[in-house]
Amino acid sequence: MSALREKHEDGALGTGRANVRLWLRLLSCAMVVEKRLKRRFAERFDTTLPRFDVLAALDRQPEGVTMGALSRSLLVSNGNVTALVQTLVRDGWASLGSSPDDRRASIVALTPAGRTAFERMAEAHHEWIDKWLGGLDGHERVSLYGLLGKLKDSIAEDRP
Amino acid sequence: MSALREKHEDGALGTGRANVRLWLRLLSCAMVVEKRLKRRFAERFDTTLPRFDVLAALDRQPEGVTMGALSRSLLVSNGNVTALVQTLVRDGWASLGSSPDDRRASIVALTPAGRTAFERMAEAHHEWIDKWLGGLDGHERVSLYGLLGKLKDSIAEDRP
DNA sequence: TGTCATTAGTTTAGGCTTGAAACAATAGGG
DNA sequence: CCCTATTGTTTCAAGCCTAAACTAATGACA
């Protein structure tokens, strides 16, 4: 009876709570790794993950980017980027200039000190991730990467 | 030459930046879903995801739990749970009492209003997740779930 | 040129999160 | 019975994050 009831509630396309369990497991993996990274960045480099994310984005754009472009590439709000960049400028890791084309726009770029700091951190970041994800063999890694790609598409499909 | 160099740098066990790419994709999926959930909870229920998480944890323990147990089950700090529970008590969704065994311990439990609110939200949460993850078929879902389990184990293996 | 919508960025108010420090109650010797 | 370490919880400072309100510059158009 209970089994029938469940089947009926799920309907033809239903998945019970499988999707929710999948989501919770995904979230759990992401949270654990993120919290560990956060702690490591604080301990070894006295900085934070969001600041590292900004440095990484800037490292990919040697000529500098506008605040808006940075905000979009990091998927965080404009105001948040403003605050993060301010601290990086204060610490001498980023520089802020005006665009010659558009007086509204600010161009933010990595300083040499910022680039050096980023490279040191990126290497450690790489090693930590390799260690934590090292339990998957090559086949599993490729599989998981592909499935996450499908998941990403599925998520992107529904945007109201 | 470049290919050889890369191979050499990676070493026998190396994976290039495959693990980092995998991590970034995983993080991206988690972030997108989490931000969407956050917006939905705010729009439709005028509440937040962390508050929902607390309600969900309390729903699983009808007799109530101590703050410490709640903190551990949610993987957040003690001080954080204190603040979240205070807002739930203020809104009449949770009640806070003392343990008869240990006068230091507080026991937090769902109120009837809290249970009702949670059930409404859980249903919507379920539907949203089903919709966003619906692009995966049953086989893919099982595969992904299994691989994330392996990943979880791999992450848990290394805890310094 | 004058008006007005749009766009870039900052500011502000409010919520989440943590780690450290403070407090209170308990438990275990001596 | 006291002293001390431990445990459960709260408080606090600092940083992240967002949405909304705001300023300033741009661009379209009459």
For the stretch B121-148, pLDDT in tens is: 999 999 999 999 999 999 999 999 999 9
| Helix ranges restricted to H, chain B | 2-10, 18-45, 49-59, 67-74, 78-90, 112-132, 138-157
pTM summary value: 0.88
pLDDT in tens, B7-50: 444 444 456 789 999 999 999 999 999 999 999 999 999 999 99
Name residue B56's beta-bridge partners: none
Cβ–Cβ contacts within 10 Å for residue A49, how many? 16
Q: Could you give the CA distance from residue A94 to residue B131 in angstroms, rounded to a whole number?
A: 41
| Residue A102 CA distance to nucleotide C1 C1' (Å) | 22
Contacts of A15 in chain B (CB under 8 A): 130, 138, 141
pLDDT by residue (tens digit) across B52-66?
999 999 999 999 999
Q: What is the pLDDT of residue B54?
A: 98
Which of B38, B155, B157, B159 to mutate to test binding with chain A, by most A CBs within 10 Å of its CB?
B155
Query: Which bases of chain C are under 7 A from a protein CB atom?
Result: 7-13, 15-21, 24-27
C-alpha closest to that of A143 among B147, B13, B135, B26? B147
Q: What are phi and psi of A104, to 5 degrees?
A: -75, -30
pLDDT in tens, A101-136: 999 999 999 999 999 999 999 999 999 999 999 999
